[in-house]
Structure 1
Amino acid sequence: MKIGITGATGFVGSHLVRHLSSQGHNIVAYGRSKPAENLLKFADFRLWDITRPILERCEADIFIHCAGFVDTWGRYRDMYDLNVMGTKRALEFAEGAEHFIYMSTASVYNPWYGKHLATEDSLYPEKYANNYGATKAQAERMVKDFSNKYRKVTILRPHVIYGPGDRHIVPRILKFAERGKEFVIGDGTNEFSITHVGNICYAVSLLLAAKLEMFRIFNVTDDKTLTVNELLKRLCLAFDLHPRVYNVPYLAAYGIAVLFETQNRIFSHKKTPLFTRDIVRQFSQESTLSIEKIKRDLHYDPPYDFNNGIQDIKLWVDSIGGRKEYISNPNEKVWQGKLFTY
């Protein structure tokens, strides 16, 4: 099949390009930045800023939309342009495709309370804690509105995606650990779902083979949850880091996050602060998703977990020059070093 993939120069998109190419599909990769030489070994590449119309005609059988503003810190206008209007452009462009797959996020669930095995039929909250969740929810509604124009439309909701090429979670944890300190909000026993990027690739392959019609939403995560304590301990050990762990009460952590954010705004830093209120909320409460629906409908049996995920991350980080090189600029590394294909 011919498959179009946006966000091919990003984390999830790069893995889908390699995964689906290895299965014999003809891949057309879209990205708004110049492609790495390695990408061109797996796909034809088209330069496309998804906030603008594209003039060429889409001839893909399957279209997977991964591009977007993937951060909880940023201006509403920037996120709206990429996550909402960019999705609208992708939906209009891919209208001739048989199946449209939208890579969403668990951030569309209610952010104000802990999530215990949240299901896909949960209602959208009236208000979101950040612009990322708000704009991704708007994009989901738009995808649903367009669903009558496609034979199949699927929304995938992963949570805390990790693996080789991760640009957010792992480098942030390692940056704190490099300084000899890790901060745990509360006692660190709260559980949360995580998603190995290989399990996303696996879920997409199941979708392509399935006979499902119409519009569907699936949570996609690893089979097992982790506590914050387990995540920090196992990741730091893999990189031979032994930071001192400080347990910080929720209110104190929230206040520290406000200081980090204020400093960032005063000095006009465009990068996400190392510590934000969203991080405090996310890592201080239970945040687990139910994957019973995808198991039932697609026979989803995730092959990857945190154990092999850590091993692969370590191998990949070593292949791009080591921990310090990774932490210094994680955004430019997804097509460098050892290229994992799940």
Structure 2
Amino acid sequence: MTVQSEQKLLVTGGTGLVGSHVIQRARQAGIPTVALVRSLDQAEYLKEFDAELIEGDLTDKNSLRDALTGVTIVVHTAAKVGDWGSVDEYRNTNVRGLENLLTALEEQCLIRHLIHISSLGVYEARDHYGTDETEPPHAAGIDGYTLSKIESEQLLRKHSIPYTVLRPGFIYGPRDRTVLPRILERLKSGRFAYLGSPEKLMNNTYVEHLVDAIFLALFNEDALSQTYNITDVSLVSKREFISTIAELAEYPPPKKVVPLPVARNLARVMEGLWRFLGKKQAPILSQARIKFLGLNLDFSSQKAQQELNYQPQKTFQQSMSATIEWFRTHHKLP
């Protein structure tokens, strides 16, 4: 990694899974780093990486001024994530918040490169077998999160900021506070069930591998205006992914399988009922969860391998072992 001495990095979403690992890697490389966080209290653990912490919110333009002082490079990881809620809730952070950031960066005129973390969810909700970046995003029939990710990519391309878009799959690793804790809870309770064939592939992306890709792109001029799919390259089936988590956490491996047509029908009924009742939490079954657990999610990362020299170093077993060990060490196993 070649870093010019005058570079200063801003990481949005500093307390998140990806943001915290970007900050850690940047400080290890000696890069001056500012972390934009919504709450200084929740960011206390980031102090061990010796990053500058600034409290701010992308939806509040005025709170961005101090964070951008002297910033030349940005890794934008902040996002409202999830698979339930109104589209406007996701747009507020993921689109309007990005608009505020881009406008503020353009005003200070120092920005050299912004890495935007998008999602493989922007592709059509169907089985994928080696889909690459030549396939356009598909905005029909998806949840608010992925729709807002498509719109944020479109917005980015309308501005003058030098950018690269990275589209990871399901990101897992130490410090995950969203999906993996829910999987662990369901495995422990014995309520986990596969949706359709457990042999379909996951789009697994270990957080350290994503961070590798981020820094390979960040100081690479050839990556400007490019979009890259990012996965572990060596993908695993749903069965291997889930059973490995169960084995490492010492929970019984799941055996229940809900046929995909049944799951789709149940999801439609439950989503309709949940919306009618105005529930804030997602139902057990939704179209977004079927997309995650019921489809074959094989996306090509060849472009990143060829153009960025992206070569994931850890096997899935090593990556998930490190992840579950972190959960165990930090008393996060349910």
Using structure 2 for the length normalisation, give the TM-score: 0.90
CA offsets per residue over residues 314-337 of structure 1, 9 Å max, x none?
22112222412xxxxxxxxxxxxx
Write the distance in 2 (CA, Å) between the matches of 1:270 and 1:276. Answer: 13
- Given the superposition, is the C-alpha separation of residues 323 and 278 from structure 1 closer, same or farther in structure 2, using an over 3 Å criterion? same
- Given the superposition, is the C-alpha separation of residues 159 and 126 from structure 1 closer, same or farther in structure 2, using an over 3 Å criterion? closer
SS at match of 2:194: strand
Contact 1:94 1:100 in 2 (8 A): no
CA positional deviation for 1:70: 1.2
- Given the superposition, is the C-alpha separation of residues 190 and 208 from structure 1 closer, same or farther in structure 2, using an over 3 Å criterion? same
CA positional deviation for 1:37: 1.9
Write the distance in 1 (CA, Å) between the matches of 2:308 and 2:163. Answer: 15
User: Which residue does the alignment assign to 1:304?
Assistant: 314
| 2:56 is the alignment partner of 1:45 | no
Where do 1:13-162 residues align within 5 Å?
Answer: 13-34=19-40, 35-42=42-49, 43-53=51-61, 54-56=64-66, 57-95=68-106, 96-111=110-125, 113-146=126-159, 149-150=160-161, 152-162=162-172
User: Which residue does the alignment assign to 1:334?
Assistant: none
Aligned residue pairs total 320
Write the distance in 1 (CA, Å) between the matches of 2:247 and 2:92. Answer: 40
CA positional deviation for 1:229: 1.0
The letter for the 1-side match of 2:150 is: A
CA positional deviation for 1:262: 5.2
Write the distance in 1 (CA, Å) between the matches of 2:230 and 2:291. Answer: 21
User: Which residue does the alignment assign to 2:181?
Assistant: 171
Contact 1:75 1:131 in 2 (8 A): yes
Contact 2:90 2:148 in 1 (8 A): yes
SS at match of 1:272: coil
| 2:255 is the alignment partner of 1:241 | no
User: Which residue does the alignment assign to 1:333?
Assistant: none
Write the distance in 2 (CA, Å) between the matches of 1:244 and 1:200. Answer: 28
CA positional deviation for 1:84: 0.5
SS at match of 1:212: helix
Write the distance in 2 (CA, Å) between the matches of 1:177 and 1:213. Answer: 40
Deviates more, 1:287-296 or 1:164-173: 164-173
Write the distance in 2 (CA, Å) between the matches of 1:214 and 1:322. Answer: 39
| 2:15 is the alignment partner of 1:4 | no
SS at match of 2:53: strand
CA offsets per residue over residues 149-181 of structure 1, 9 Å max, x none?
23x310000000000122233222212111123
Write the distance in 1 (CA, Å) between the matches of 2:46 and 2:96. Answer: 26
The letter for the 1-side match of 2:15 is: T
Write the distance in 1 (CA, Å) between the matches of 2:93 and 2:266. Answer: 30
Write the distance in 1 (CA, Å) between the matches of 2:241 and 2:254. Answer: 15
Write the distance in 2 (CA, Å) between the matches of 1:238 and 1:304. Answer: 17
Contact 1:4 1:64 in 2 (8 A): yes
- Given the superposition, is the C-alpha separation of residues 62 and 220 from structure 1 closer, same or farther in structure 2, using an over 3 Å criterion? same
Write the distance in 2 (CA, Å) between the matches of 1:178 and 1:262. Answer: 28
Please provide the CA RMSD for this pair.
1.9
The letter for the 2-side match of 1:181 is: R
Write the distance in 1 (CA, Å) between the matches of 2:270 and 2:329. Answer: 32
Contact 2:114 2:218 in 1 (8 A): no
- Given the superposition, is the C-alpha separation of residues 244 and 193 from structure 1 closer, same or farther in structure 2, using an over 3 Å criterion? closer
Using structure 1 for the length normalisation, give the TM-score: 0.88
Give unpaired runs (5+ residues) of structure 2.
Answer: 1-6
SS at match of 1:182: coil
CA offsets per residue over residues 197-232 of structure 1, 9 Å max, x none?
000111112123424263111111102111111111
Give unpaired runs (5+ residues) of structure 1.
Answer: 325-342
CA offsets per residue over residues 61-102 of structure 1, 9 Å max, x none?
211111111112111111010110011112122233100110
| 2:283 is the alignment partner of 1:283 | no
Where do 1:330-341 residues align within 5 Å?
Answer: none
Write the distance in 2 (CA, Å) between the matches of 1:144 and 1:305. Answer: 34
Contact 2:243 2:253 in 1 (8 A): no
Contact 1:223 1:305 in 2 (8 A): no
SS at match of 1:166: coil
- Given the superposition, is the C-alpha separation of residues 110 and 58 from structure 1 closer, same or farther in structure 2, using an over 3 Å criterion? farther
Write the distance in 2 (CA, Å) between the matches of 1:214 and 1:266. Answer: 45
CA positional deviation for 1:244: 4.3
